[in-house]
């Protein structure tokens, strides 16, 4: 009996080593996202019927004094807030239900609110995801600081893009593609996401500045979680003698500013990745779904809680960006309709919304199928 129970429930088991960390990461990210919708919606005077973590049948829950049903549902791959007047979990208007509402309920119905209140409530979900990412990095910078190195070239790999461009040991990076450089990590962040693109490098050499052009080449490397990833490299190496690695300590305000900066950097890199993916310049295997996230959560948990929290921050930013894509039923799709309503000064016709919702839902389902295929069979 004990021999069977230990591998099933031991820390290294699939249940405790992968599923539990995955559910922790996903639940935190989804809860924060939906809490953004809920809090701003309530602040705007909108009534909330349900707050659910997960989809499908309810596993457990309770109803608060305002009439909101808080529940945990069976399928833990997302969540939703159902406002007064919504039909289903996608926040589509229910015309019949709106007609049947009492006057008090109509004042609290989501789809009868001014467009700015609806837009603020919808935008709050992704925005809270970004706030979570900022908060995690701010705390980490405050507690652990940040290790940086001077942007110096200690070695140039033979036959590398850097060697072909004429970069030499002892050079100091000043800017890359117009972006000022302060640390060697700054160079790595820019170059890693721009494989195959010609970049302009301003270098300081012997007291003068020179400009060279190099094209990062895609290279497969293994990240800290053991995942095979493809990044751009130019073939330069930093070392302790020239890099002079040091730890930067942050006070609360400086840590918060660094957290905002890091979050913005993640948003820009993710946006660049998605653009390059659409243009066919990125390996589709870099895009993962729930299976890959579960695997990463398990590996992060093995490395320690700090790594797991970092994964929460990265996933939260990713979910925020994904939800802002202008595709119904994502938040960005709703915001697109509200922007059109604000410009036209009237709601988008219901027939048009229905067609776009159906097309958007099909796109989302195809995308989900694509990442599942990638996770299980494609890569």
Task: Exactly one of 34, 249, 350, 354 is catalytic; name it.
Answer: 34
DSSP 8-state assignment for residue 216: P
Query: Who contacts 188 (Cβ-Cβ below 8 Å, separation ≥6)?
Result: none
Instruction: Supply angle C-alpha 77, 314, 243, rounded to 5.
Output: 160
d(CA 1, CA 337): 58
Q: DSSP letters of 172-215?
A: EEEEETTEE--SHHHHHHHHHT-TTS-EEEEEEETTEEEEEEE-
Give the number of other Cβ atoms within 10 Å of residue 96's Cβ.
Answer: 8
Pairing relation of β-strands 146-148 and 246-248? antiparallel
Contact 122, 331 (CB under 8 A): yes
Q: What are φ and ψ of residue 125, in 5° steps? A: -60, -60
Active site residue 34: yes
Give the number of other Cβ atoms within 10 Å of residue 376's Cβ.
Answer: 11
Contact 92, 111 (CB under 8 A): no
Helix 290-303 × helix 305-323 angle, to 10° = 150
Q: Give Cα 120 distance to the centre of its chain.
A: 20
Contact 73, 52 (CB under 8 A): yes
DSSP 8-state assignment for residue 325: S
Give the number of other Cβ atoms within 10 Å of residue 77's Cβ.
Answer: 12
Query: Who contacts 260 (Cβ-Cβ below 8 Å, separation ≥6)?
Result: 134, 138
Contact 258, 250 (CB under 8 A): yes
Where in the sequence numbering do the catalytic residues fall? 34
């Amino acid at each position: 009996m004990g021999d069977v129970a230990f591998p099933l429930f031991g820390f290294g088991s699939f249940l405790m080593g992968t599923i539990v960390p995955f559910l922790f990461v996903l639940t935190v990210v989804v809860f924060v996202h939906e809490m953004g919708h809920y809090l701003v919606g309530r602040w705007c005077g909108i009534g909330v019927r349900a707050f659910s973590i997960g989809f499908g049948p309810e596993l457990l829950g309770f109803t608060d004094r305002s009439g909101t049903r808080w529940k945990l549902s069976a399928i833990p791959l997302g969540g939703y807030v159902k406002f007064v007047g919504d039909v289903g979990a996608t926040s589509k208007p229910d015309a019949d239900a709106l007609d049947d509402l009492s006057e008090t309920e109509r004042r609290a119905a989501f789809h009868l609110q001014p467009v700015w209140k609806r837009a603020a409530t919808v935008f709050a979900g992704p925005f809270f995801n970004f706030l979570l990412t900022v908060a995690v990095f701010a705390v980490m910078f405050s507690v652990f600081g940040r290790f940086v190195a001077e942007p110096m070239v200690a070695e140039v790999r033979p036959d590398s893009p850097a060697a072909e461009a004429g970069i030499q040991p002892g050079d100091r990076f000043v800017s890359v593609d117009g972006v000022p450089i302060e640390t060697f990590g700054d160079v790595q962040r820019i170059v890693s996401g721009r494989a195959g693109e010609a970049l302009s490098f301003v270098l300081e050499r012997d007291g003068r500045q020179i400009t060279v052009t190099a094209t990062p080449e895609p290279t497969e490397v293994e990240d800290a979680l053991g995942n095979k990833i493809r990044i751009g490299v130019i073939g330069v190496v930093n070392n302790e003698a020239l890099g002079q690695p040091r730890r930067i300590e942050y006070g609360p305000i400086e840590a918060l500013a660094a957290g905002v900066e890091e979050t913005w950097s993640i948003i820009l890199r993710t946006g660049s990745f998605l653009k390059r993916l659409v243009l066919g310049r990125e390996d589709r295997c870099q895009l993962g779904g729930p299976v890959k996230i579960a695997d990463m959560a398990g590996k992060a948990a093995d490395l320690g809680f700090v790594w797991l929290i970092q994964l929460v921050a990265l996933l939260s930013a990713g979910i925020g960006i994904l939800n802002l894509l202008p595709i119904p039923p994502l938040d960005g799709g709703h915001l697109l309709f509200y922007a059109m309503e604000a410009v036209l000064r009237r709601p988008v016709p219901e027939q048009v919304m229905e067609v776009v919702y159906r097309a958007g839902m099909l796109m989302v389902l195809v995308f989900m199928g694509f990442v599942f295929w990638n996770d299980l069979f494609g890569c």
